[in-house]
Amino acid sequence: MSRRTRRPHRSRSSLGPLFALLVIVAALSYWWATRPPGARHQERASHARPPLAAGSAVASSPAARAPADFAAPAAVRSSSAPATAIPRGSNDGAGPRLALIIDDCGQWPQTERGFIALDVPLTLSVLPHVRYGAEIARDAHAAGKGVMLHLPMEPQSGIDPGPGRITTAMDDDEIASQLRADLAAVPLATGVNNHEGSRATADDRVMREVVAVLAPRGLFFIDSRTAPNTVAARDAAAAGVPTASRDVFLDNVADVASTEEQLRRAAALARENGFAIAIGHPRPTTLAAVRALVPELRSDGIAFVLAADLVR
């Protein structure tokens, strides 16, 4: 009689650790799938700059560079969520006027929508040919915010200012053609300001060609004043293009307290001169500072306006 081969008996107790491991893996998978979008760093720039055209004087660099503080602590980063409404003061449109411009838009939509959600007039300046540019421009326009084209222009540093760049190596026809293409990428723009541009905005030939394209379209130009020898506002005014110049950069230091200090400085200039233009960027720290300071500045008599309201 043949003897049956007996299979080794597997103890139920040996299955316990395996079952516990499966439960842990399932729990971690569920947490990863459901955690908030902000934790996944969805706002990091994803656009790669194309190589420069032959003959351009600008060196290539990484594209759509994030603000220096983009990897902010979670407590600060949470300020990029849509804001609760800031109480509107009765002084908007009267008294010292302050225009806030948020540059470099179209790359970090969550923070940019935080600015759009603020119950205060401000202007978003949108880069051409970036991933979220058209979407953010539409959202800003629908919310009653100002929309501008943030025109990439050649800097002295040789750093690539991004797709749609205007350079001093271009001839007049190339400048006009590129600017028309950039305007077509942000069709809701009512005006333009320069992104970088310390070399290009100091070049009369370049600026005359730029404002010659803007004049028949009824668009304004705001000089970001990235160079002390800029001729941008002068050439715009000479061509009959409404113009103004930046007074304060808000966030050269990516810190809430520093940005608040710069906002107060801009408000002081508005009181002194009747108006001021302050430029910031879509940083969570900048959003937090603007959100915190608007009620204070309004109560002090500052009227927030769109950039378009301050050109002449």
On whether residue 278 sits in a domain, the answer given is: yes
* Residue 62 half-sphere exposure toward CB, CA atoms < 13 A: 6
Which regions of 114-273 does DSSP assign to beta strands (E)?
123-126, 146-153, 191-196, 220-223, 243-245, 248-249
On whether residue 45 sits in a domain, the answer given is: no
On whether residue 11 sits in a domain, the answer given is: no
* pLDDT of amino acid 5: 46
Phi, psi values for residue 26, rounded to 5°: -65, -40
* pLDDT of amino acid 31: 44
On whether residue 303 sits in a domain, the answer given is: yes
Q: Residue 92 is encoded by which pair of tokens?
A: 């908007």
- Helix (H), strand (E) at residue 179: helix 172-185
On whether residue 84 sits in a domain, the answer given is: no
* pLDDT of amino acid 18: 57
- The pLDDT tens digits along the chain (312 residues) read 444 444 444 444 555 555 555 655 555 454 444 443 333 333 333 333 333 333 334 443 333 443 332 333 222 322 333 333 333 333 444 689 999 999 999 999 999 999 999 999 999 999 999 999 999 999 999 999 999 999 999 999 999 999 999 999 999 999 999 999 999 999 999 999 999 999 999 999 999 999 999 999 999 999 999 999 999 999 999 999 999 999 999 999 999 999 999 999 999 999 999 999 999 999 999 999 999 999 999 999 999 999 999 999
User: What is residue 193's three-state secondary structure?
Assistant: strand
User: What is residue 16's three-state secondary structure?
Assistant: helix
Q: Residue 83 is encoded by which pair of tokens?
A: 């804001």
For β-strands 146-153 and 123-126, DSSP reports them as: parallel
Which regions of 154-259 does DSSP assign to beta strands (E)?
191-196, 220-223, 243-245, 248-249
In the chain, how many domains are there?
Answer: 1
- Helix (H), strand (E) at residue 238: helix 232-238
Instruction: Give the C-alpha distances (Å, rounded to integers) separating 228 from 231, 232, 281, 310.
Output: 9, 11, 21, 21
Residue span of the structural domain in which 165 resides: 107-310
Count of H-run helices and E-run strands, the chain: 9, 9
* Residue 228 half-sphere exposure toward CB, CA atoms < 13 A: 0
* pLDDT of amino acid 73: 28
CATH number, residue 143:
3.20.20.370
Of the candidates 181, 235, 180, 178, the residue with the CA atom closest to the CA atom of residue 203? 235
* pLDDT of amino acid 14: 53
Phi, psi values for residue 125, rounded to 5°: -100, 115
Phi, psi values for residue 185, rounded to 5°: -75, -20
Cα gap 141→188, rounded to integer Å:
7
On whether residue 60 sits in a domain, the answer given is: no
Residues 6+ apart with CB under 8 A from 253: 259
* pLDDT of amino acid 15: 53
On whether residue 138 sits in a domain, the answer given is: yes
Q: Residue 226 is encoded by which pair of tokens?
A: 């990235």
User: What is residue 245's three-state secondary structure?
Assistant: strand
Cα gap 73→306, rounded to integer Å:
31
pTM over 0.85: no
User: What is residue 83's three-state secondary structure?
Assistant: coil
On whether residue 214 sits in a domain, the answer given is: yes
